[in-house]
């Protein structure tokens, strides 16, 4: 993608992130001037998004952003007041635009209206807006019509719509498709027949279906009901008949006199969007730098670090007291270089909270719409990931969360029958595992129906008849293209439908996805994604002449004594006996015949007390702690136990993957027991 487009996407992502935070603040009790500043900021955000979309040639996105801008304009002019329900509708609108941005980044065609799913809610907000002095009320926004037909209504037609709704009369819409040769006569006959059932407000041109020829029209009628039989329509002429606006949806406040205290104290109006008011808090200056410049600077720092290592090696080779001071200076240089590298790394990073902030409002909306109370727990939001990865995770994450709510969690009635709490639990956690970030999405719902999945897998030819499939294999079926246990997908999601797209996106990022579940107990979706570079605190050890780093998060204890240990022995640590295995053996380098006196106790993170996996890993020497800049090295993909490397003074420091090493150690110990 061209660099200018990358900059535009990044700026749009920043605008949406700011909008999410500002919308959340509207739900909190704040002084009026703070609310006004927030509304003004949201108005400017949508104004900017509208302009950028128009400049880039995305007219539908620009129109949808313009409609959101109009809503915020009504708020800043004091014609709409902030409430929780209003904020939720606005959140849903911004979510729809943000999801649309993801589609544009992937080259998808534009829909006609990004806000189609919120047409009624936004129409109600526009109708609820109090008219300014000298203006008349307009309820035409309550019509369930796309934006373009709404704009085509004349002032007189809008007045008639408003009058009918205020009088309690519904507005209906009849879509007809008529032949070219007879459309004028047939349209007149439809109009005559409808005139006996109510007031014909407008006849609008309509889009003709792809499989039809002729002219299509939408006829708007104000009447109690429609009787289609009396119209004597010919086969295929009537395409659709539906209720466009129900008078019960007219806000109650419009049927009563507005209290004087509200009418007399509107929010102050911001004069011009181009001249914003002074922000409540001083904003930090933001500089945008092309990624290539940051990478070039990192490469130069790496060259300087290599020069430092070379000078350090020469000084150590000369020896003597005169080299102590220069070596101290070089040590300070090393610490300074690492700090600069960490600062550069931070420029690429954003908090996982930026991803979580998109999930919270969606869960609230789905919970309300589906009638499923949900307890949402988010953990690990302070962790940081590269901006590009977080940006690409948005759509897969939202799909997985929709799946969990739609097909994972049961209804309150079903949960009561199963002895569960009425409110379902959805827990999303992020944790760092060395050079990887792990996301766990857990729900306490119904889980995957493995029997049904096996049946479907056999029918689709994904499983071989007569061969039993493991639970792991059955869960993986959900990630196959086109696989679903549902006969039809719901409007929210389809468990299995689209999961192949999620898998493809995760694997494109170099990650992996794992599914597991217990029937009627819940399910887990685990995403593991690598970080291309990360600063890691390590314990440096030596084994067979090579230096290795062990992430400190997995180190429980370090011990060096006089006793010599060999693989398969038991060592006593704080009164507990722990199995001992040499790191050399784990890496396939053979058993050291002389044994080892030093060992590091490794633990599997996340284990409960007394149940975690602990092994004493034998090494030749423990050298101390260090912070290193860990980089992913593609050539290590086939070397088990190594997660990355870092260039050090003594050469490359290989960083171990503790979980893999623990697994290798257990395999070796089991072979010893079996005398294999």
Per-residue pLDDT tens for 197-251? 888 889 998 988 888 888 999 999 998 888 898 898 899 899 999 999 998 888 7
Q: Is the pLDDT of residue 57 over 60?
A: yes
DSSP class of residue 462? S
User: Residue 82, SS3?
Assistant: coil
Mean pLDDT of 116-144: 76
Which class does domain 132-257 fall in?
alpha beta
Supply the DSSP string of 16-58, one letter for each residue.
Answer: HHHHHHHHHHTTS---HHHHHHHHHHHHHHHHHHHHHHHHHT-
* Of 125-129, 404-408, 579-583, 658-662, minimum mean pLDDT range: 125-129
Q: Give the torsion through C-alpha atoms of 278, 280, 281, 284, to 10 deg.
A: -40
395 near 359, Cβ under 8 Å?
no
Q: How far is CA 227 from CA 105, 160, 188, 231, 237, in A?
A: 47, 22, 17, 8, 15
Cross-strand bridge partners of residue 579: 570
- Please give the CATH number for the structural domain made up of 352-530: 3.30.565.10
pTM of the entire predicted model: 0.53
What token pair was written down for 140? 């035409």
Q: pLDDT digit string (tens) for 592-630?
A: 989 999 999 998 754 433 456 789 999 999 988 877 777
DSSP state of 404: I
Q: Which CATH number fits domain 1-130: 3.40.50.720, 3.90.700.10, 1.20.120.160, 3.40.630.10?
A: 1.20.120.160
Q: Which residues, 6 or more positions from 366, have their beta carbon under 8 angstroms from its beta carbon?
A: 372, 374, 402, 405, 406, 492
Range from 248-252, 294-298, 471-475 carrying the lowest mean pLDDT: 294-298
* CA-CA-CA-CA dihedral for 445, 394, 40, 128, to nearest 10: -50
Q: Once rounded to an integer, what is the mean pLDDT over residues 548-571?
A: 88
- pLDDT tens profile 262-285: 333 344 444 444 434 333 333 444
The rounded distance, in Å, linking the Cα atoms of 363 and 492 is: 12
Top-confidence range, 136-150, 216-230, 324-338, 629-643: 216-230
Strand ranges inside 165-233, DSSP E: 171-178, 199-206, 215-222
> Please, what is the Cα angle at 497 between 491 and 499, to 5 degrees?
125
Rounded CA separation 86/39 (Å): 12
DSSP state of 406: I
pLDDT digits (tens, 9 = 90+) for 504-532: 888 888 889 999 999 989 999 999 988 76
The single-letter DSSP state of residue 408 is I
Q: Report yes or no: 523 and 400 within 8 Å, Cβ to Cβ.
A: no
User: Which of the pair, 27 or 569, is modelled with greater confidence?
Assistant: 569
Dist. CA 447–CA 217, nearest whole Å: 48
534-674: CATH homologous superfamily?
Answer: SH3 Domains (2.30.30.40)
Q: Give the helix/strand (H/E) hosting 602.
A: strand 596-603
Q: Hey, which residues does 646 pair with through a beta bridge?
A: 653
Which tens digit of pLDDT belongs to each residue from 337-393? Answer: 666 766 666 666 778 888 888 788 788 888 888 889 999 999 988 888 877 788 778
């Amino acid at each position: 993608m061209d660099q200018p487009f990358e900059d535009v996407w990044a700026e749009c992502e920043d605008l949406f992130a700011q909008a999410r935070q500002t919308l959340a603040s509207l739900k909190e009790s704040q002084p009026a001037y703070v609310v006004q500043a927030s509304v003004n900021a949201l108005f400017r955000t949508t104004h900017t998004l509208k302009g950028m979309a128009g400049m880039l040639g995305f007219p539908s996105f620009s129109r949808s952003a313009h409609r959101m801008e109009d809503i915020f304009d009504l708020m800043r002019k004091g014609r709409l007041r902030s409430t929780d329900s209003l904020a939720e509708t606005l959140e849903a609108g911004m979510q729809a635009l943000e999801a649309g941005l993801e589609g544009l980044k992937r080259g998808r065609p534009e829909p006609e209206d990004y806000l189609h799913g919120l047409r009624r809610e936004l129409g109600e907000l526009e109708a609820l807006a109090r008219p300014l002095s000298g203006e008349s009320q307009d309820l035409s926004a309550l019509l369930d019509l796309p934006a373009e037909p709404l704009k085509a209504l004349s002032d007189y037609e809008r007045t008639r719509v408003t009058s009918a709704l205020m009088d309690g009369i519904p507005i209906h819409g009849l879509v007809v498709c008529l032949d070219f040769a007879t459309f004028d006569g047939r349209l007149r006959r439809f109009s005559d027949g409808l005139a006996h059932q109510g007031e014909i407000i407008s006849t609008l041109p309509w889009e003709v279906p792809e499989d039809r020829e002729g002219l299509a029209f939408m006829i708007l009628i104000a009447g109690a009901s429609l009787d289609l039989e009396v119209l004597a329509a010919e086969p295929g002429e009537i395409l659709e008949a539906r209720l466009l606006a129900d008078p019960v949806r007219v806000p109650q406040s419009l049927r009563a006199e507005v209290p004087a205290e509200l009418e007399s104290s509107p929010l102050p109006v911001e004069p011009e969007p181009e001249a914003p008011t002074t922000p409540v808090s001083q904003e930090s200056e933001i500089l945008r730098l092309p990624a290539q410049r940051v990478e070039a600077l990192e490469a130069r720092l790496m060259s300087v670090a290599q020069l430092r290592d070379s000078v350090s090696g020469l000084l150590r080779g000369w020896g003597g007291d005169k080299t102590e001071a220069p070596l101290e200076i070089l040590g300070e240089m090393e610490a300074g270089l690492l700090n600069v590298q960490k600062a550069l790394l931070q420029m690429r990073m954003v908090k996982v909270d930026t991803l979580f902030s998109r999930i919270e409002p969606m869960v609230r909306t789905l919970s309300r719409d589906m009638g499923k109370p949900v307890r949402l727990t988010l953990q690990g939001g302070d962790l940081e990931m590269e901006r590009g990865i977080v940006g690409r995770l948005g759509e897969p994450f939202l799909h997985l969360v929709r799946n969990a709510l739609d097909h994972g969690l049961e209804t309150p009635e079903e949960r009561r029958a199963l002895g569960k709490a009425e409110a379902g639990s959805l827990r999303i956690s992020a944790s760092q595992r060395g050079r990887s970030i792990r996301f766990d999405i857990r729900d306490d719902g119904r889980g995957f129906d493995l029997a049904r999945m096996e049946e479907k897998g056999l029918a689709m030819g994904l499983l071989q008849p007569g061969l039993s499939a493991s639970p792991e294999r059955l869960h993986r079926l959900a990630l196959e293209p086109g696989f679903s246990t549902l006969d039809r997908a719901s409007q929210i999601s389809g468990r299995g439908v689209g999961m192949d797209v999620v898998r493809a996106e995760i694997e494109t990022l170099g990650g992996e996805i794992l599914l597991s579940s217990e029937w009627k107990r819940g399910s887990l979706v685990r995403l593991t994604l690598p970080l291309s570079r990360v600063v890691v605190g390590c314990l440096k050890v030596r084994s067979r002449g090579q230096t290795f780093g062990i992430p400190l998060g997995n180190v429980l204890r370090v011990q060096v004594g006089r006793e010599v240990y060999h693989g398969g022995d038991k060592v006593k640590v704080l009164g507990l006996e722990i199995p001992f295995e040499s790191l050399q053996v784990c890496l396939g380098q053979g058993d050291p015949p002389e044994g080892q006196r030093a060992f590091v106790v490794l633990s599997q993170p996340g284990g409960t007390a007394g149940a975690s996996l602990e092994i004493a890993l034998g090494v030749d020497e423990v050298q101390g702690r260090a912070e290193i800049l860990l980089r992913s090295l593609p050539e290590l993909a086939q070397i088990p136990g190594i997660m990355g490397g870092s260039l050090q003074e003594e050469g490359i420091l290989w960083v171990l993957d503790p979980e893999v090493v623990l697994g290798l150690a257990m395999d070796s110990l089991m072979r010893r027991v079996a005398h294999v």
